[in-house]
Structure 1
Amino acid sequence: MSIQKILSISGKPGLYALKLQTRTGFVAESLVDGKKITVGLRSNVSLLSEISIYTYDGEVRLSEVFTAIAKKEDNGPAISHKESNDTLTDYFREVLPEFDEDRVYASDIKKILNWYNMLQPKGLVSKDEPAEGEEAPATEAEVKSEE
């Protein structure tokens, strides 16, 4: 699984691949339509490789959740993020039984399933465990240039 350079940009729909770092920010390419955009350093950006999901025992990396969904679906697409909140919660409980239901909201589950369904057809998620070192966390310096 190679989600190390996949971004979610606040205020922009979809997911983006980090393409190039510039002096004033970076260039990202939409995974939906392939259009490139420039993003300033002040934008609120999240690397998917840095996101974790709350569980009763601690936190689980988003990449591990994607792997669990891929195993459940045999590398196929997950259910639609537009299902009812109860259906989504039941589905997510099958994927990650120990998720903290008080801290993980239906909106979070919708976002995770939507992201998975964007990444899955592009081959960026699979049921195979990532190779050792492949999912090393990216540093903030990879996304932002020095000020």
Structure 2
Amino acid sequence: MEAVIQEETSGCGIAASAALAGVPYPDAKRMANSLGIHAEDKALWSDTRHVRTLLSAFQISTSPVETSFESWESLPDTALLAIKWRLEEDRAFWHWVVFIRRDGDACVLDSRKSLKSHVRQDFWRMKPKWYIEVFN
């Protein structure tokens, strides 16, 4: 699995879905747009419904619930993480990233364009609020 870079400021959900589906960002964006999901819609990063719909279109199953983050060790092998969680005018917003663990090695795929490396292991810097398990 490889990181996919978001092309719009609020395209992190589309980029995370693209990484999980193994497709380029433009392909995921086309699929999202065909489902009525647009990066310009702030609901993309304040509602889980859109990312779940997009992942379902890629035939990727997720847990039906969000689980509070406890520790990096307790995460499932693949998960969507909500980091940079905050309230703006009583509405929750976050940044979507993908957590993966393979053969004991863990990393976070972060789509934010300005990062030097999109494969992150600086776990102490990230403050996940909750996650959605992704089934392989």
User: TM-score of the superposition, structure 2-length normalised?
Assistant: 0.28
Larger Rg: 1
Higher strand share: 2
Higher helix share: 1
User: TM-score of the superposition, structure 1-length normalised?
Assistant: 0.27
